[in-house]
Amino acid sequence: MTMAPANGGVPRPEAGGETSPEKLFTPVLSAFWDEPRPWTLETYLRHDGYAGARKALAMAPDDVIAYVKDSGLRGRGGAGFPTGMKWQFIPQGDGKPHYLVVNADESEPGTCKDIPLLFANPHALIEGMLIASYAIRCDHAFIYLRGETVPVLRRLHEAVREAYAAGYLGRNVLGSGLDLDITVHAGAGAYICGEETALLDSLEGRRGQPRLRPPFPAVAGLYACPTVVNNVESIASVPAILGRGKEWFRSMGSEKSPGFTLYSLSGHVANPGQYEAPLGITLRQLLDVSGGMRPGHRLKFWTPGGSSTPMLTEEHLDVPLDYEAVGAAGSMLGTKALQCFDETTCVVRAVTRWTEFYAHESCGKCTPCREGTYWLVQLLRDLEAGKGRMGDLDKLADIADNINGKSFCALGDGAASPIFSSLTYFRAEYEQHIKGKGCPFDPARSTAWADQSHPEVHV
Amino acid sequence: MTDVQLGMPQFPAPDYPADVRARLEADAREVIARYPDSRSALLPLLHLVQSEEGHVTATGIRFCAELLELTTAEVTAVATFYTMYRRGPSGDYQVGVCTNTLCAVLGGDAIFETLREHLGVANGGTTEDGRVTLEHIECNAACDFAPVVMVNWEFFDNQTPQSAKDLVDDLRAGRPVQPTRGARLCTFKETARILAGFPDQRPGAVEESGGAGPATLAGLRLARGEGPAARVGPPRGAPAQDGRPARRQEGEE
């Protein structure tokens, strides 16, 4: 029997602190995902479904915007921009159609929250879209779903059909006078379409390449009309805010990062999965209650919100996972995709693979990203194979610096993140590859089945 | 002189046979009507033509161009940008192995290599029987189920080299295959039709595989006091004796 070291072997700072899972977690979006048919309208209505929309439709649209703004809800797609403020930016009385576009293109490596959310409970999104559309005066909203998730597409088709049949969509919704159509749109495979302006170009039937800003989508978005682009989880969180109140929402999380959110734990952890908790929980707390790293192993590096957020290490286990604290720790909260890698993982291999991804997904519009990611891949492949030279490390940093902040969109910044952060924390490991003329790691030890014959430990 | 193909379609392209054209045109009009601007229908229409022929042909491009009043160059530019549109004939079942970092590290690389050897095809290659096309794919938003394999974009979670080998053997032998999350498989062409915006009409398809996979429910179960699954190690909180990871014993495997 092997004892797994607690939290990667680091003693907890506050013994006896709040670690009971019943108190740590706050299932709201995930509250009834374990019901037999959670995706149906029937189940949703049994759990106060569409109650938030009824409240919203009884308010003035501007008051709904103010309410969501006061709740402090911030975008869950990565950037953390206040959702209500995005809605407020839509010019009213301009005579143009307004559009709501939901970004369901979840493709950031490590990110896996919107897809299970939509698979289990698509009506939370549709109700949120109803509220948002009413608030911004939109009568045609779109769900841009990445195409590679057909099971979710099926559920969305069905949920939209149910919502029309029950009068939550269509003409004069619930007698409010609001007309609302929702079009479910499947993408066709392109990470860049998660960038909001590339998404809009793609939704207009073009290559998904980002647009110059300004003008921002709030002024000239879809078909050059005022458009709100929101992440799935942001919009799906709105019904609960309306239903249970902004004070309830603000009672969770912190002043600047209020509310609940989905944390996605993955990698070399004992129990990967979705954990819904107030903003500000730490990775140590999450690992504490969920079973920690896989038995016998220790956390080496992790991402707080996908591969585009600079990696962190064991020393950051106690960073509150909210927008401010993760930023102060030198990274970004991003999508809360907590990819955890243990000591069997080669960081050079991990970064090389992510960089190959960015090179593959670079849309080619701007030179720093298109050329920079290509050259990063060439250098990294040599380094991983033990064919690198010491000077390559500075060259890596230099190329990353020429991409970061100098590209047309955030994909370039994302590509630079793993490079900078891995050089900061693991430069010695790069040097080891160069001096030893090869990779010192055995990839077989990192696999999910590496310890399979290992006796299981029951609590 | 070398003839560089680049996989670009050759024009002028022949039209579809009249009956096919009439059927696709009716479908296309339905798709176009969903958008305020017809060009927005281009991605779904490319899925639609793919559902007819299994890949985007020059004829399919011509069809999209005619219906949306675009040039074939404009349609080609879009069709070649997105990875889900195939440029040549391929298998009934697209087997995509995630080899982005997290899945790769947890075994996706080993699964991909195993399948490549087992099927005797390279990345993007199709087996001689025309059943299986093997591809490595990017992160498919299922990292808590890593390593992940997608077949015609349905989820096959927590795969191993052996389970993946069994999977492709079943596909080639025509045995029924059930995804861990998603509906029983249909062919690549039938999948493309759903992607074009036509709901899956098979009875029970929406229901299949239930509401959520086990990992999806991990946090909810803990919040209910149900405790983590059995494969969890000893309770956390007790610091390791020497502050270092306990190593597996020699010969333990």
**B 222-241: CB under 8 A from A:** 222-225, 227-240
Question: B107 and B163: one domain?
Answer: yes
Among all residues of chain B, which has the CA nearest to that of A32? B220
Question: Taking CB atoms and an 8 Å cutoff, what residues of chain A touch B82?
Answer: 187-190, 208
A112 close to B143: Cβ distance less than 8 angstroms? yes
B250 inside domain: no
Question: Taking CB atoms and an 8 Å cutoff, what residues of chain A touch B102?
Answer: 109-110, 266-267, 339, 341
**B 3-22: CB under 8 A from A:** none
A276 close to A28: Cβ distance less than 8 angstroms? yes
B226 inside domain: no
Strand A260-267 to strand B149-151: parallel, antiparallel, or no bridges (unpaired)? unpaired
Q: What is the CATH number of the domain that holds B102?
A: 3.40.30.10
Q: Does residue A17 register a pLDDT over 60?
A: no
Q: Does residue B232 register a pLDDT over 70?
A: no
The confidence band for B12, taking pLDDT boundaries of 50, 70 and 90, is confident
The pLDDT tens digits of the residues spanning B166-175 come to 999 999 999 9
Lowest mean pLDDT among A4-13, A278-287, B140-149: A4-13
CA–CA gap between residue B41 and residue B33 (Å, rounded): 9
B210 inside domain: no
How many structural domains compose chain B? Answer: 2
SS3 B32: helix
Q: What is the CATH number of the domain that holds B5?
A: 1.10.10.1590
Last residue of one domain, picked from the residues B31, B61, B89: B89
B215 inside domain: no
Task: State the sign of the Cα–Cα–Cα–Cα dihedral A292, A295, A301, A303.
Answer: negative
Closest Cβ–Cβ partner in B191, B212, B240 for A34: B212
Q: Do A22 and B223 touch (CB under 8 A)?
A: yes
Q: What pLDDT is stored for residue B8 in this prediction?
A: 75
Q: What pLDDT is stored for residue A455 in this prediction?
A: 43
Q: Do A27 and B223 touch (CB under 8 A)?
A: yes
CA–CA gap between residue A273 and residue A33 (Å, rounded): 13
Distance of residue B158 Cα from the nearest chain A Cα, in angstroms: 8
Question: B103 and B80: one domain?
Answer: no
Nearest by Cα to A22 from B245, B101, B219, B178: B219
Query: Could you give the percent of chain A with pLDDT greater than 90?
Result: 93
The confidence band for B229, taking pLDDT boundaries of 50, 70 and 90, is low
Question: B70 and B129: one domain?
Answer: no
Q: How far apart are the first and last CA of chain A?
A: 12
Q: Number of CB pairs < 8 Å for A and B?
A: 360
Q: Does residue A291 register a pLDDT over 70?
A: yes
B67 inside domain: yes
CA–CA gap between residue B160 and residue B140 (Å, rounded): 17
Nearest by Cα to B249 from A296, A8, A444: A296
Higher pLDDT, B58 or A5: B58
Q: Does residue A356 register a pLDDT over 70?
A: yes
B155 inside domain: yes
Question: B144 and B112: one domain?
Answer: yes
Q: Do B146 and A267 touch (CB under 8 A)?
A: yes
Mutate to test the interface with B, among A12, A29, A34 (most CBs of B within 10 A): A34
Lowest mean pLDDT among A13-22, A246-255, A411-420, B141-150: A13-22
Question: B82 and B128: one domain?
Answer: no
Q: What pLDDT is stored for residue B11 in this prediction?
A: 82
Q: What is the pTM of this model?
A: 0.93
- In terms of Cβ atoms closer than 10 Å to its own Cβ (0-12, 13-18, 19+), residue B5 is exposed
CA–CA gap between residue A64 and residue A448 (Å, rounded): 47
Q: Does residue B231 register a pLDDT over 50?
A: no
Tokens 């759990």 belong to residue: A47
Please provide the average confidence, as pLDDT, over all residues in chain B: 89
Question: B70 and B106: one domain?
Answer: no
In the chain, the amino acid numbered A114 is D
The pLDDT tens digits of the residues spanning A150-187 come to 999 999 999 999 999 999 999 999 999 999 999 999 99
**B 28-57: CB under 8 A from A:** 34-37, 39-44, 46-47
In the chain, the amino acid numbered A360 is H
Last residue of one domain, picked from the residues B138, B158, B187: B187
Average pLDDT over residues A119-128: 98
Among all residues of chain B, which has the CA nearest to that of A300? B245
CA–CA gap between residue A108 and residue A89 (Å, rounded): 27
Higher pLDDT, B229 or A344: A344
Question: Taking CB atoms and an 8 Å cutoff, what residues of chain A touch B65?
Answer: none
Question: B42 and B100: one domain?
Answer: no
Q: What pLDDT is stored for residue B151 in this prediction?
A: 98
B122 inside domain: yes
- Residue A401 is encoded by which pair of tokens? 């610096």
B249 inside domain: no
**DSSP-H helix ranges across A251-388:** 283-290, 323-328, 347-361, 367-384
Question: B1 and B81: one domain?
Answer: yes
Q: What pLDDT is stored for residue A21 in this prediction?
A: 79
Nearest by Cα to B108 from B75, B136, B74, B79: B136
Question: B7 and B68: one domain?
Answer: yes
Q: What pLDDT is stored for residue A453 in this prediction?
A: 60
Q: Do A150 and B34 touch (CB under 8 A)?
A: no
Q: Do A296 and B209 touch (CB under 8 A)?
A: no
Closest Cβ–Cβ partner in A2, A150, A292 for B154: A150
The pLDDT tens digits of the residues spanning A415-440 come to 999 999 999 999 999 999 999 999 99
Question: B122 and B171: one domain?
Answer: yes
- Residue A428 is encoded by which pair of tokens? 């010695």
Question: Taking CB atoms and an 8 Å cutoff, what residues of chain A touch B110?
Answer: 443-444, 447
CA–CA gap between residue A186 and residue A182 (Å, rounded): 13
Among all residues of chain A, which has the CA nearest to that of B96? A148
Domain, as residue range, for B2: 1-89
Strand A337-342 to strand A299-303: parallel, antiparallel, or no bridges (unpaired)? antiparallel
**β-sheet with A299-303: strand ranges across:** A273-278, A260-267, A337-342, A299-303, A312-313
Q: What pLDDT is stored for residue B65 in this prediction?
A: 98
Average pLDDT over residues B114-134: 97
Is the peptide bond prior to A151 cis by the omega test (within 30 degrees of 0)?
no
The pLDDT tens digits of the residues spanning B33-75 come to 999 999 999 999 999 999 999 999 999 999 999 999 999 999 9
The pLDDT tens digits of the residues spanning A31-60 come to 999 999 999 999 999 999 999 999 999 999
Q: Does residue B247 register a pLDDT over 50?
A: no
Task: State the sign of the Cα–Cα–Cα–Cα dihedral A392, A395, A399, A405.
Answer: positive
SS3 B114: helix
Question: B1 and B78: one domain?
Answer: yes
Please provide the average confidence, as pLDDT, over all residues in chain A: 94
Closest Cβ–Cβ partner in B42, B140, B216 for A120: B216
Average pLDDT over residues A382-393: 98
Higher pLDDT, A229 or B237: A229
Lowest mean pLDDT among A389-398, B21-30, B225-234: B225-234
The verdict on B145 touching A (C-beta cutoff 8 Å) is yes
The pLDDT tens digits of the residues spanning A298-312 come to 999 999 999 999 999
Average pLDDT over residues B202-217: 96
Question: B99 and B162: one domain?
Answer: yes
The contacts of residue A343 (CB under 8 Å, 6+ apart) are A297, A298, A300, B245
Q: What pLDDT is stored for residue A23 in this prediction?
A: 82
Last residue of one domain, picked from the residues B187, B214, B244: B187
Q: Does residue B206 register a pLDDT over 90?
A: yes
